[in-house]
Structure 1
Amino acid sequence: MSTKHSSETQPLSQPLSQPLSQPLTQALRLPNGNVLRNRLAKSSMSETLGTYANHATPKLVELYRRWASSGIGLMFTGNVMIDRRALGEPGNVVIEDESDLPILQQWARAATDQGAALWVQLNHPGKQSPKGLNVSNLSPSAIPFRADMAAFFETPREVTTEEIHDIIRRFGRSAAICKKAGFSGVQIHGAHGYLVSQFLSPHHNQRNDQWGGSPDNRRRFVMAVYAEIRKQVGADFPVGIKLNSADFQRGGFTEEESMATIHALAEAGIDLIEISGGTYEAPAMGGAFHQAQKATTAAREAYFLEFAEKVRAKVSVPLMVTGGFRTAEGMNAALRSGALDIVGLARLLAIDPDAPAALLKGRDSPHRVRPITTGIKPVDRLGIMEVLWYTLQLGRIAGGGNPRPNESGLTAFLKSLMKSSWGNFRTRRLRA
């Protein structure tokens, strides 16, 4: 089903009480007519607050109720998987049937009853899943991880054509269930090295059939996933994507290919594109990437703003940029530039869940995102603490408490290691 849209992505007119100097507070009408109450969004972070049988829990309801109460306009859930056989982590929520509809409805209402939009991020990990969690991992091609990660991630098997069609149908089915549950939209996770990203990358996708071998063929999977979702949810239900600007990996997905993919998705009628970058093997949200970008992004804050400007010159689809934003003025300045329509925040909301209330009034959060290290060089080189440390903070908020912004990276790593080991064991036992 084609749902092509025009360049009608201008914000709704605002009451005079909302100053133009604070574009964060302005509403945004999406191409399909849905309205976001402001330009501030919570980007996806993996919560791992599902059960080890992969069901949603009341903790997710509490977590998103807390964030929604801050006044934020849009939130994306963490990784929600479309297939219980393909998990990214222990504790992932899986939506593949309607068995959890009551708790999913509670989760959706935790945000929507307070005026916030909540979109479910739908994902398939492909090869990017810890060794031993799944019976086997698949990818477009059987390309192993780099040598220092081989102990953590097994070499995947090549996905079959029949399996590709099954995965596409599962994306659509999961999206339809999300709509029935009352969520505000869905987002395809096409970034950070997961399956959709793997199909797009010439490094991970070395197939010679219709699903690989050329940029057009590598795009075929994501376009088919989008088309299937749109067929199952209709034209009025928002569908977005999180997409890498580049993989930052030799022989990987380039800016030029990303631009071509964005153009194709915009033509097909996608409602929102979130720009990000990197993979597990080449993380782009912290560590070395952050240090390398400091000189050029200190003033403008956002990591991917220059790429967003290039995209904006080509397409009118609403754009969201996540990564690097620190101050209310930096966020408002980026919006005033016209390069993006929505400011995405992630890690700040894990250490200050009430930050949006201040930012929407033009005030900065008193907290700052900092590099998280353990002092264990092999662990720190992997960059995994940029996920594990923050996941622990989410658990505290979900339990009705407050995060610990000064928690030791080493302490967090040891807690996470024990939790992950137990989670892998319990997940495998439940499948036995």
Structure 2
Amino acid sequence: MTISDPLILPNGATLKNRIVKSAMSEALADEYNNPTQAHIDLFAQWSAGGAALLITGNTPVDRVHLEHAGNFVLDPDSDIERVSALAASGKSGGAKILVQLAHAGRQTPEAINARPTSVSDVQLDLPGYGKPTPASEAEFKEIIAKFVRSAKIAEDAGFDGVEIHAAHGYLLSSALSPRINTRTDRWGGALENRARLALEVVKAVRHAVDPRFIVAVKLNSSDFQKGGFDHAEAVQVAVMLEAEGVDFIEISGGNFEEPTAYQHASKSGSTQIREAYFLDYAAAIKSALAIPLMVTGGFRSANVMNDAISSGKTDLIGMGRPFIADLGFAARLLSGEITKAPFVEQNFPPADTLPRGAVLNWFCTQIALAGKTGAPDLTISLVDGHKSYLNQIKLATERLLEARRD
């Protein structure tokens, strides 16, 4: 098996190959959190680029719990015409498209919500985030209902499915972590209690949508924090999720405090940037599952991707940054015209020599440029790209708050 082979998901949907554009923070929504034309145009280019599956960036189910002001939100106040246009653009070139549904929880910026709802009152150890309020029993039920509502809107709008975000420290991920989830009721303590929120969301969504609608989950292979959600627990939760009827599980790792999934080379002195840095964690999860597994993080060489698939460590290859550097690289990689995905970050300085988040922010600036102009500008310096994105989010937040006041 190789990256060019199709894959049939448990619900019967066929993916034409094994390349997936994983979720990224597009930050292209307008002040009402609706998709913009730049957003729609960008997904049309990605769809024409050869990948089998596209996953939108973090799409909140609750507009007072955003990852950032530029998120596109899926709820009854969404502009369904624009949402449907985004779904159609993602499918226009032959790809399938999923909406990544999320609730930011304690990772909601303070400027948007100073007292966000979370699983506990454990605050994010970073500036710019407020003290969270632990969810009540009634609020957990409301959160589950919001995921269901958004999934049904996605289905009605023409998306092929949803990916429920239970990774990277957002609400469902926080609930899994014993370091963050300090509850003593039925939502905390033992793993089956900490997993309850994610499982109840998946169960409710799966029941509400058509059996042919894809339901996937993004799960941390580990939080990579002392006392956090670990790999052994990830294997157990993956098995629980499979029992609820998910079509595939994507594994990644880390959160805002420990941004493992977002770094390129974390330490100075590194001589080589390691590819597929979550693949070693995939083996135990893959061996415990009958459903497909997707691994995201660091894949660049076709031979590494093919080896990962042929050896049975993963079924799908998730990539993000290569789709920013070259919107149409996937078709050339699949045809053999190129043997490696774009790897612009291999020449960047190590992350510990740069401002926090500089590389991630540089890529986010490139997404914005690609959406507006049709192509990135890889000549922009890291620092300039970083500063540009910070300014972009500042302006987006100001516009969002002004629109809400109106």
Match of 1:407 among 370, 373, 380: 380
The aligned amino acid for 2:397 is N
Alignment of 1:100-249 (within 5 A): 100-146=79-125, 149=126, 151-249=127-225
Deviation at 1:99, TM superposition (A): 4.3
| TM value normalised by structure 1 | 0.88
Match of 2:76 among 68, 79, 97: 97
Q: In structure 2, do the counterparts of structure 1 residues 140 and 371 end up closer, same or farther at CA, with 3 Å as the change threshold?
A: farther
Deviation at 1:30, TM superposition (A): 0.2
Asked whether the equivalents of residues 184 and 237 of structure 1 are also in contact (C-alpha less than 8 Å), the reply is yes
Match of 1:242, SS state, is strand
Q: In structure 2, do the counterparts of structure 1 residues 297 and 390 end up closer, same or farther at CA, with 3 Å as the change threshold?
A: closer
Q: Give distance in 1, aligned partners of 2:230 and 2:253.
A: 10
Q: Name whichever of 388-397 and 283-292 sits farther off.
A: 283-292
Deviations 1:284-336 (A, max 9, x none): 125487559x79984xx211111111112111110011111111111111111
| TM value normalised by structure 2 | 0.94
Deviation at 1:416, TM superposition (A): 1.9
Alignment of 1:22-33 (within 5 A): 23-33=2-12
Q: Give distance in 2, aligned partners of 1:123 and 1:320.
A: 18
Match of 1:72 among 37, 41, 51: 51
Q: Name whichever of 412-421 and 25-34 sits farther off.
A: 412-421
Structure 1 runs not aligned, ≥5 long: 1-19
Structure-2 residue corresponding to 1:285: 261
Asked whether the equivalents of residues 6 and 17 of structure 2 are also in contact (C-alpha less than 8 Å), the reply is yes
Structure 2 runs not aligned, ≥5 long: none
RMSD between superposed Cα atoms in Å: 2.3
Asked whether the equivalents of residues 286 and 371 of structure 1 are also in contact (C-alpha less than 8 Å), the reply is no
Q: Give distance in 1, aligned partners of 2:103 and 2:377.
A: 31
Q: In structure 2, do the counterparts of structure 1 residues 374 and 411 end up closer, same or farther at CA, with 3 Å as the change threshold?
A: farther
Structure-2 residue corresponding to 1:52: 31
Q: Name whichever of 269-278 and 125-134 sits farther off.
A: 125-134
Asked whether the equivalents of residues 69 and 393 of structure 2 are also in contact (C-alpha less than 8 Å), the reply is yes
Q: In structure 2, do the counterparts of structure 1 residues 375 and 328 end up closer, same or farther at CA, with 3 Å as the change threshold?
A: closer
Q: Give distance in 2, aligned partners of 1:371 and 1:142.
A: 39
Q: In structure 2, do the counterparts of structure 1 residues 216 and 358 end up closer, same or farther at CA, with 3 Å as the change threshold?
A: same
Deviation at 1:369, TM superposition (A): 3.5
Deviation at 1:135, TM superposition (A): 4.8
Asked whether the equivalents of residues 301 and 339 of structure 2 are also in contact (C-alpha less than 8 Å), the reply is yes
Q: Give distance in 1, aligned partners of 2:227 and 2:367.
A: 35
Q: Give distance in 2, aligned partners of 1:264 and 1:271.
A: 13
Asked whether the equivalents of residues 98 and 177 of structure 1 are also in contact (C-alpha less than 8 Å), the reply is no
Match of 1:122, SS state, is strand
Alignment of 1:233-382 (within 5 A): 233-287=209-263, 298=274, 301-362=275-336, 363-365=338-340, 367-370=342-345, 380=355, 382=356
Match of 2:345, SS state, is coil
The aligned amino acid for 1:139 is S
Q: Give distance in 2, aligned partners of 1:343 and 1:290.
A: 22
Deviation at 1:405, TM superposition (A): 2.2
Structure-1 residue corresponding to 2:66: 87
Does the alignment pair 1:61 with 2:40? Answer: yes
Q: Name whichever of 256-265 and 151-160 sits farther off.
A: 151-160
Identity %: 35
